[in-house]
Amino acid sequence: MKPIEIDEDCKFLKDCTDNPTMAMYNLITSKGAVLLWTKGIKPHSNWKITDVKKYFGMNGNADVLHSKLVKLYDILNNKGEQNGQNNKWNSK
């Protein structure tokens, strides 16, 4: 699996340590917003894809960005892992 390139100084990584609930919320909502953008729908009037790119420290077009956000979400939620260990994102 190819690693996801993320800028080390991005706001998302800072939020992961300071406020992980907000970071996860932003990931989920951004994932949906970018998916709408790939279909030609602007999520709201002030929305810009460059804001998403800056927050997550990623680059690429809308399709690439969406696949990176989905992969990041799956990694943080241990999707597809065999061991089933819990982490700070997925506590039961």
Any idea where the domains of the chain sit in the sequence? 11-76
> Which two tokens mark 17?
């340590």
The pLDDT value given to residue 92 = 44
Q: What pLDDT, in 10s, does the model give residues 28-69? A: 999 999 999 999 999 999 999 999 999 999 999 999 999 999
**Rounded distance between C-alpha atoms, residue 12 and residue 14, angstroms:** 5
CA distances from 9 to 54, 55, 77, 82 (A): 10, 10, 22, 31
